[in-house]
């Protein structure tokens, strides 16, 4: 139905000035169901408009925007479909690069954004904006004023494209969140490929919308960067809500009582399992009760108050050869107390080249004293054998042994986690506690696993009933 000129101009003006009103007005052009209102929709629209206003004015961005929110909250409709179409009403020449984890998803979001722009309502309200005949495909379309929307996927080519705004919507498939390769691919693409595709690095904002899936997912990486505004809206009320003032909008502990009711959330938890549910809906890549290790069960005590059982003192080294990058070399010192409990007494951790690493291992061994048995994790292959032999020679005069662990890291950590989760493990209070517990709570999905590997090794050696005598496990066995 045609709209009379005065009404048309009024609606066009209202929608041009307010992204939220644009969203409400154009909802029915692509979604057959009636919109279910909730406070988060207007909030996200307003936040996205704040970011866009600086682009329209050509002003340097104040921050990049990170949004963590549950699936099924119309986030993609807001950010990937409506947002680019609305920005053209204010700045027809704006170019937007939009990416997702899969090409098919990126194309579908682009197709729907194109439907909004080609709708009768959009054409009537903004007749000056129409698509160029020579660039009008569902994955890449442009208007006659020079504006464009380009769809791509993680790892996809963006060569030749430059954007005034970059929108990344779900760069990780939830089913691939535990794949180191998938995580690395997404992070590398976002950190290295996309920054070179900005029209003006000082002005072009990056907007990332996704669920939390892993400690090292693109959200985690983006939070480490300066000048990032983080919006986090978990499905249920928690301390993770950001900005904290948004907590006042939760009703009966829920972000959205209609879309994400208690019944809906319970069904999703049953279908997804606690790990996937915790990340996708509560924006926490570990369950509320903890992951494999429940760090709330750890005891903390000053070192001087721990009553160490004689003969039960081990330092276990998990060695790495990286200098200021990659994995860490970690030496975990552990004991059993006179009551049968286990204590992590000290953690030495760093990214050292081999010569410095061996020096630190020797200095640490001298400080620990001869009553502390030293174990070295021997990596597979001749290189691992040689490295273990070098360390044993370097520690001549001390009780030093090498172990060739087998099996999955998670399985090796299981006996230690059982003791932690039953409240039988404690930490000597020290500066290293924070990094240690941070890795422990996210394991096996933690960014680094070296402290838990070394802890599992130390715990295993404390609990064995027999130990190997002789270099590299080629000697005789003796009762412990």
pLDDT tens profile 35-57: 999 999 999 999 999 999 999 99
pTM of the model: 0.69
User: Confidence class of residue 479 from pLDDT cuts 50, 70 and 90?
Assistant: very low
Q: 186 — phi, psi (to 5°)?
A: -65, -45
Q: Is the pLDDT of residue 70 over 50?
A: yes
Grouping H, G, I as helix, E, B as strand and the rest as coil, residue 285 is coil
DSSP output for 351-389: ---HHHHHHHHHHHHHHH-TTSEEEEEPPSHHHHHHHHH
Task: Quote the pLDDT of residue 323.
Answer: 63
User: Confidence class of residue 325 from pLDDT cuts 50, 70 and 90?
Assistant: low
| Answer CATH for 295-479 from 2.40.37.10, 1.10.150.120, 2.30.22.10, 3.30.420.240 | 3.30.420.240
pLDDT tens track for 457-475: 999 999 874 444 333 333 3
Task: Quote the pLDDT of residue 158.
Answer: 82
Task: Quote the pLDDT of residue 477.
Answer: 39
Match 């072009």 to its residue by tokens. Answer: 204
Locate the domains of the chain by residue range.
5-280, 295-479
pLDDT tens track for 348-383: 999 999 999 999 999 999 999 999 999 999 887 767
| Answer CATH for 5-280 from 3.40.630.30, 3.40.50.720, 3.40.50.1370, 3.40.50.300 | 3.40.50.300
Task: Quote the pLDDT of residue 311.
Answer: 80
Task: Quote the pLDDT of residue 3.
Answer: 64
Task: Quote the pLDDT of residue 324.
Answer: 60
Cβ–Cβ < 8 Å for 362, 392: no
Work out the burial of residue 381: count CB atoms within 10 Å of its CB; fewer than 13 is exposed, 13-18 middle, 19 or more buried: exposed
SS in 3 state form for 149-183? EEEEECCCCCCCCCECEEEEECCCCHHHCCCHHHH
Half-sphere exposure of 74 (CA within 13 A, CB side): 25
What's the CA gap between 276 and 285, in Å, rounded? 8
Least confident range of 40-44, 156-160, 182-186, 259-263: 156-160
What's the CA gap between 470 and 479, in Å, rounded? 14
Maximum CA pair distance of the chain?
Answer: 96
In whole numbers, what is the pLDDT of the chain averaged over residues? 90
Instruction: Give the whole-number percent of the chain exceeding pLDDT 90.
Output: 72
């Amino acid at each position: 139905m045609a709209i009379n000129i005065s009404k048309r101009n009024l609606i066009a003006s209202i929608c041009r000035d307010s992204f939220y009103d644009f969203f409400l007005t154009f909802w029915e052009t692509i979604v057959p169901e009636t919109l279910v209102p909730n406070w988060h929709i207007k909030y996200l629209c307003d936040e996205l408009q704040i970011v866009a206003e600086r682009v329209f004015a050509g002003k340097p961005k104040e921050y990049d925007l990170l949004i963590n929110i549950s699936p099924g909250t119309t986030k993609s409709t807001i950010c990937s479909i409506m947002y680019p179409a609305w920005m053209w009403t204010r700045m027809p020449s704006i170019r937007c690069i939009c990416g997702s984890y899969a090409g098919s998803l990126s194309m579908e979001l682009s197709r729907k954004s194109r439907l909004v722009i080609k709708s009768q309502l959009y054409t009537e309200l903004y007749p000056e904006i129409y698509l160029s005949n020579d660039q009008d495909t569902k994955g890449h379309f442009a208007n006659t004023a020079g504006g464009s929307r380009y769809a791509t996927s993680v790892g996809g080519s963006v060569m030749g494209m430059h954007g005034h705004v970059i929108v990344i919507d779900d760069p990780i498939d939830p089913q691939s969140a535990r794949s180191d390769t998938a995580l690395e691919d997404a992070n590398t693409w976002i950190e290295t490929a996309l920054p070179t595709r900005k029209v003006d690095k000082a002005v072009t904002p990056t907007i990332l919308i996704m669920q939390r899936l892993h400690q090292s997912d693109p959200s985690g990486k983006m939070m480490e960067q300066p000048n990032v505004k983080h919006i986090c809206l978990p499905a249920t009320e928690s301390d993770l809500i950001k900005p904290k003032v948004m907590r006042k909008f939760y009703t009966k502990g829920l972000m959205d009582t209609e879309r994400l009711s208690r019944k809906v959330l319970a069904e999703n938890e049953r279908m997804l399992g606690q790990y996937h549910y915790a990340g996708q809906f509560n924006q926490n890549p570990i369950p509320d009760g903890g992951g494999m290790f429940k760090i709330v069960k750890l005891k903390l005590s000053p070192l001087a108050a721990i009553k160490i059982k004689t003969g039960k003192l081990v330092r276990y080294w998990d060695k790495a050869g990286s200098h200021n990058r990659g994995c860490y070399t970690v030496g975990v010192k552990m004991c059993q107390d006179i009551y049968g409990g286990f204590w992590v007494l000290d953690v030495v951790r760093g990214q050292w080249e081999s010569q410095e690493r061996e020096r630190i291992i020797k200095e640490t061994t001298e400080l620990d004293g001869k009553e502390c048995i030293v174990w070295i994790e021997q990596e597979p292959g001749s290189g691992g054998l040689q490295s273990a032999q070098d360390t044993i020679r370097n520690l001549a005069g001390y009780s030093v042994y090498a172990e060739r662990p087998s099996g999955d890291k998670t399985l090796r950590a299981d006996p230690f986690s059982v003791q932690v989760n039953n409240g039988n493990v404690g930490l000597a209070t020290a500066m290293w506690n924070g990094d240690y517990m941070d890795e422990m709570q996210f394991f096996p999905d933690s960014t680094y696993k070296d402290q838990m590997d070394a802890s599992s090794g130390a715990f295993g050696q404390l609990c064995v009933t027999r130990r190997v005598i002789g270099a590299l496990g080629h000697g005789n066995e003796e009762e412990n």
